[in-house]
Amino acid sequence: MARDMKHIDVEEIKDLGWDELIPGAALFSFKEPVEDVVEVPMEERPYAPTNSHEWQVGDWRVEKPVFNRDLCIDCQFCWVFCPDISILSRDKKMIGVIYEHCKGCGICVEVCPTNPKSLLMFPEHMDNEEALKQWPQKEEKKKD
Amino acid sequence: MVKKIKNLKEFSLSNDRFEGANLMCPGCSHNIIVREVLNATNDPVIVATATGCLEVCTAVYPRTSWDVSWIHIGFENAAVAAATVAAAYEVMKRKGKLPPATQKMVDEGREPKIVAFAGDGGTYDIGFQSLSGAFERGHNFMYVCLDNEVYANTGGQRSSSTPIGASTTTSPAGAVSYGEKMQKKSMVEIMADHGAPYVAQVSPSKWKDLVKKVQKGFEVYGPVYINAQSACTTEWKHAPEDTIEVSDLGVESCVWPLYEIINERDEHGIIYSTKLNITYRPKQKIPVEEYLAAQPRFRHLFKPENRHIIDLWQKAVDARWEYLQRREEAGV
């Protein structure tokens, strides 16, 4: 019998395999209808367990980007070029990295224009506060 | 309604309708393009996606990464799916049968935008007949080709978008071959010759140019074709963090010129004016060699016996850039 995907809980969905396809099932993005998605920020959306937002790919990473608020100029380059919607930006301010969704590609570090960079890659096992302590100093411009 | 985006800070206020934790490779350009296209408007968007990396990785059962209405359809008919949605929408609107929520948005001047996403395999080769048909019939939709110049999803086979000299799994470089033998098809001109009102080439690294063109495309009535450069970390074999740099090198070396073609038509569909605008001019054109050197798929071209292919590349790129500039000057 076809079951409504809405009434399946998260644990059950995690256990679903390809062989357990539910006939007639639809994958919903939200638990309840959202009138205007563009008006609702990520934190306030009623995500359904079948939305990939509720999952995580953070374990793909070997290195993680660490964000240094003191150096950031809020240029938003990292926000626009992040392929995984992992840069959290609110009210034109960069807030931080969503580690559940970050695959560790390093684009944000590459496009960061500050000197020294306000985003840097550190080993996954390192504590963020420890990483901030090891932040490099400003590089002097080389004179040709 | 055109969304006002003056600068990047303003653009960053957008709430994404494309979700993270999809299974695209780290550093994939596809995601960047999709985000920029969807964030270019506040209107409801209906997306049709052909089979390809984007579809396979954003809709792995049992999860979806789309917060917009989304249809997956075969490899060959993304354009038809989008055209059908456009046609159905117009009939429903004419008969007053739109759902109340949609009707309310239409009354506010926020017409739904219909977008088809397909890779270069689904556009240049397999999907070409349905794309051509949909453009000939003149449906009101936008077709975005995510051009990574290879069949990346199935293991890196050559497509008719693969440029000369690239090493792919079906055109491998080695002792007897320098890789792909054919030149790339110029899809933008082909689609412009269908009489489409707006056709453009974009790169995700030039986000403002991309957003402007997409907004322009949403405003015109009729089929719109956008050819987006999509650097592929897996098949172009560059490091994931270099995606934006490689895209930039393509633009700065004029391998991937950013331009648009506007066809103005009268009520009988006769084109009375065609205009080509180059929207980005590199301050200093860099040699093609730098673009090729950034991608290990062209590594073998730097061997002495293959150097002539690099010269061929430079010649082809220069000729094309010259052609575009002449067309822009002549206003045709």
pLDDT in tens, B30-49: 999 999 999 999 999 999 99
Positive or negative: CA dihedral A69, B7, A85, B255 = negative
**Which tokens hold the place of B42?**
């506040």
**Which tokens hold the place of B34?**
């999709």
Average pLDDT over residues A115-139: 92
Report pLDDT for A48: 86
- Portion 230-259 of B in contact with A at CB < 8 A: 233, 239-245
H/E stretch holding B330:
helix B307-330
Report pLDDT for B286: 96
Positive or negative: CA dihedral B248, B253, B254, B256 = negative
- Count, residues in chain A: 144
What is d(CA A79, CA A86) in angstroms, rounded to the nearest whole number?
8
Q: What is the DSSP string of A63-108?
A: EEEEE-GGG-----HHHHH-TTS-EEEETTEEEEE-TTT-----HH
Residues of A with Cβ-Cβ distance to B58 under 8 angstroms = 52
Chain B within 8 Å of A57 (Cβ-Cβ)?
Answer: yes
- Give the pLDDT confidence of B40-82 residue by residue, as tens digits: 999 999 999 999 999 999 998 778 999 999 999 999 999 999 9
Q: What average pLDDT is seen over chain A?
A: 85
- Coil, strand, or helix at residue A134? coil
- Coil, strand, or helix at residue B48? strand
CA A27 to chain centre: 22
Backbone angles phi, psi at B44, to 5 degrees: -60, 145
Average pLDDT over residues B109-136: 95
B192: left (phi over 0), alpha (psi -120 to 50) or beta: alpha
What is d(CA B24, CA A83) in angstroms, rounded to the nearest whole number?
9
Q: Which amino acid is at A44?
A: E
Q: How many CB pairs under 8 A join A and B?
A: 148
CA A24 to chain centre: 31
CA dist B64 → A30, A38, B38 (Å): 10, 17, 16
Average pLDDT over residues B111-120: 95
- Coil, strand, or helix at residue B117? strand
What is d(CA B268, CA B140) in angstroms, rounded to the nearest whole number?
16
Report pLDDT for B115: 97
Q: List domains and CATH numbers for chain B.
A: 8-330 (3.40.50.970)
**Which tokens hold the place of A44?**
């306030």
Residue with tokens 């052909």: B50
Reported ipTM: 0.92
Distance from CA of A138 to the nearest CA of B (A): 22
The class (CATH top level) of A58-133 is alpha beta
Tell me: pLDDT of B154 over 80. Answer: yes
Q: Where in chain A is the domain with CATH 3.30.70.20?
A: 58-133
Q: Do B20 and A77 touch (CB under 8 A)?
A: no
Residue from A85, A65, A71 nearest A117 by CA: A71
Tell me: pLDDT of B200 over 90. Answer: yes
**Which tokens hold the place of B330?**
């002549």
Residue with tokens 């061997």: B303
Question: Which of A28, A85, A91, A112 to substitute to test the interface with B, most B CBs within 10 Å?
Answer: A85
The reply to whether the predicted model has a pTM over 0.80 is: yes
What is d(CA A27, CA A51) in angstroms, rounded to the nearest whole number?
8
- Coil, strand, or helix at residue B192? helix
Chain B within 8 Å of A55 (Cβ-Cβ)?
Answer: yes
Report pLDDT for A19: 59
Chain B within 8 Å of A83 (Cβ-Cβ)?
Answer: yes
Report pLDDT for A1: 33
Q: B271 has which bridge partners?
A: B265
Tell me: pLDDT of B121 over 80. Answer: yes
Average pLDDT over residues B255-263: 96
Question: Which of B6, B15, B209 to substitute to test the interface with A, most A CBs within 10 Å?
Answer: B15
- Give the pLDDT confidence of A28-60 residue by residue, as tens digits: 888 888 888 999 999 999 998 889 998 889 999
Residue from B118, B29, B102 nearest B68 by CA: B102
Average pLDDT over residues B6-31: 94
Q: What is the DSSP string of B259-317?
A: EEEEEEE-TTS-EEEEEEEE----SSPPPHHHHHHT-GGGGGGGSGGGHHHHHHHHHHH
* Helices and strands in chain B: count of H runs, count of E runs: 11, 8
Q: How many other CB atoms are there within 10 angstroms of residue B108's CB atom?
A: 10
Residue from B14, B105, B16 nearest A35 by CA: B105
